Chains A and B, each alone.
Chain A
Amino acid sequence: MAILVYVEHTEGKFKKSAFEVVSYASALAAKMGTSLSALAIGAIENSELLKLADYGAQKILHASPDSVKGFVNQAYASIVAEAATSEQSDVVCLSNTFSAKGLAPRIAVKLGASFGNGVVDLPDLSDGKFCIKTTAFSGKAFSFEELTQLKKVITISPNSFGVTEQKTSGNIVPFSATLGSTDLGTLIKEIVRNTDKISLPDAERVVSAGRGLKGPENWKMVEELAELLGAATACSKPVSDAGWRPHSEHVGQTGITISPNLYIAIGISGAIQHIAGVSSSKVIVVINTDPEAPFFKVADYGIVGDAFDVIPKLIEAVKANR
């Protein structure tokens, strides 16, 4: 019956999405009337692990096998599945990060569990069922699915649930798992981080720009506005296709799907494929010269105007209000 939440960390530090998934799992445990254990893998200080107790994780398992250097989805899946079995957890929760895409489906296969990908809300448990809400058609719809197996693995869409403090006293328990010889088929050679920037999937605010910016040389002001707002930068598909911006910034149906609190789209007309990737943003602001741009139909706030006039004014306004 119990719940296990696997909590990812980056070089020994938890991100907001980690506290969010613990908050979610804790709310789910309360809803199901059961207990919650958290599991972290790899080198991380006890003081950091104990932060999970602020969000409702009482029992905090920590696995740090010598043979596993960094993330290997096979080995991590073995550890999480073994922890789920030893904790008698029927539900395993993870944040839907890039790593989780390689990890969570493996855990589901190991446990013979139903898998729910990218849920955006707590499940509906009426009639003894377990029904999740998730996005489908790249944000163009929601899908309600019943997970029919006794065991379930679910990943939670970052920014869909929020972080809720629920202080409890944490208890760290070392956990060791048995790894198979075939569990280490991949090896990380190097990690390259853009340390100077807010990462787009984690960002609470995003400033995004399209062809209306006319060329890559004009992104300075977009970056300045983003920096002032504590936002990540993003772009439309034509912009990344033209090589003005890296592919990792492309949001939309064939890029990444994001759900920040604030999405500011500048010089992006709002093709259906682009809107699909950002439609679950809480507040959408559109700045476009064309009052007929389809993006205005799904925006909360808008300015009909030229990016080259409006962005500098916004920059001034943010500076003045600080």
Chain B
Amino acid sequence: MKFLVCISNVPDTTSKITFTDNNTLFNSAGVQYILNPYDELGIARALELAEGGKATITVLHVGEISAEPTIRKALALGADDAVRINSKPKDAFFVASQIAAYAKDKKYDILFFGRESIDYNGAQVCSMVAELLGIPSVSIAKKLALEGSIATLDREIEGGIEIIQANLPLAISCSEGISEPKIPNMRGIMSARSKPLLVIEPIEGPDFTHVLRYEAPAQRGKVKLVEAGDAEKLIELLHSQAKVI
């Protein structure tokens, strides 16, 4: 089988988020970039399913050269090779168009995505790629098992789980539960340096959204403290002042 794992390069979860250029650009100064945590889950599950030579794994990233450490990490985890489409990821549709154009004639059985990237939280690329390729997709998958060319998945729904059967080829967006993040071992890190990383140029593609500006969430007023011994006062405040209970 052939797996394609699509990855993003995102600010570390502990990053303070600030903006420059009149709040129109994310301020990446001093920000540590990491492999998107949900994409890590996709790689982890792909590796488990590929164990024993059952599949080859290619990782794909749409982005600039600055993302190469993240791509190398994916290779260190055990992916066989990598492709970087050399372009600023303009918006989700642009990225999806690049991935679909690349994957179109490569006959991948499963395309793995994270449920969303933790920077722009679009949660769109997986479904867009699937639509562009005309294949089924499952978003927010918490479990994936394979039997021949039939996949069985758990998909999160409000207050429960949907158990789904899907034909391959299939695109899935991975969520917690599908696997556990793995840590690359020394051998993986060493071999990642010599694994193939192909850089290709993007296709002409439209983008359909423009970010105008960013804004920090409104600050809350100072916290109103209630004495621990006086907990019923909190309930009263929530009822009569905040009016939420």
Bits for B147-166, please: 1 = Cβ < 8 Å to A, else 0: 00000100111111111111
Contact indicator per residue, chain A 99-114, by CB within 8 Å of chain B (1) or not (0): 1011111101110011
Q: Contact at A283–B238, with CB atoms within 8 Å?
A: yes
Residues of chain B at the chain A interface (Cβ within 8 Å): 11, 13-17, 19, 26, 37-38, 92-93, 96, 115, 118-128, 130-132, 134-140, 142, 152, 155-167, 170, 173, 175-177, 207-217, 220-221, 223-228, 231-232, 234-239, 242, 244-245
Given contacts A280-B217, A303-B226, A317-B235, contact A185 B121 (CB under 8 A): no
A147 touches B209 (CB 8 A): yes
16 contacts between A and B (CB under 8 A): A73-B139, A109-B96, A117-B124, A137-B118, A138-B118, A143-B120, A189-B165, A192-B163, A195-B159, A201-B158, A254-B176, A284-B220, A301-B225, A305-B231, A314-B232, A321-B232
List the one stretch of A39-47, A51-59, A167-175, A291-299 in contact with chain B: A291-299
Give the secondary structure class of B's interface: mixed
Contacts of B226 in A (CB 8 A): 301-303
Given A109-B131, A136-B121, A141-B17, verify A300-B142 contact (CB < 8 Å).
Answer: no
Q: Chain A's nearest CB lies how many Å from the CB of B122? A: 5
CA distance A279 to B216 in the complex (A): 11
Please indicate the chain B residues that have their CB under 8 angstroms from the CB of A71 in the complex.
162
Size band of the interface chain A makes with B: 35 or more
Q: A138-B121, A282-B244, A286-B223 are in contact. Are A103 and B232 (CB under 8 A)?
A: no
Q: Which residues of A contact B115 (CB under 8 A)?
A: 101
A114 vs B90: C-alpha distance when bound (angstroms)? 13
User: A254, B210: Cβ atoms under 8 Å?
Assistant: no
* A75 shortest CB reach to chain B, Å: 10
CB distance from A131 to the nearest CB of B (A): 6
Answer whether A148 and B209 are a contact pair too, CB < 8 Å, given A188-B163, A283-B238.
yes
- Neighbouring B residues of A135 by C-beta, 8 Å: 121
* Other-chain residue from A73, A144, A304 in contact with B137 (beta carbon distance below 8 A): A73
Does B228 contact A143, Cβ atoms closer than 8 Å? no
Cα A268 to Cα B6 in complex, Å, equals 33
Which residues in A have some Cβ–Cβ distance to B below 8 Å? 10, 15, 71, 73-74, 77, 97-99, 101-106, 108-110, 113-118, 131, 135-149, 182, 185-195, 197-202, 205, 229, 240, 247-248, 250, 253-255, 257, 261-262, 271-273, 279-280, 282-286, 296-306, 309-310, 313-314, 316-318, 320-321
A44 to chain B, nearest CB (A): 17
Q: How far is the CB of A275 from chain B (nearest CB, A)?
A: 10
Q: What residue in chain A is nearest B123 (Cβ atoms)?
A: A101
Contacts A102-B139, A191-B160, A306-B228; A145 near B212 (Cβ below 8 A):
yes
Whole-angstrom distance between the Cβ of A197 and the nearest chain B Cβ:
7
Of A114, A141, A309, the contact of B214 (CB 8 Å cutoff)? A141
Residues of B within 8 A of A190 (CB): 162-163
- Asked whether, in the complex, the Cβ of B120 is within 8 Å of the Cβ of A98, the reply is no
A262 in contact with B124 (CB, 8 Å): no
Taking a contact as CB atoms under 8 Å apart, the answer to whether B38 and A136 are in contact is no
Given contacts A192-B161, A320-B232, contact A300 B212 (CB under 8 A): no
Residues of chain A with a CB closer than 8 A to B122's CB: 117
Q: Is the CB of A300 within 8 A of B242?
A: yes
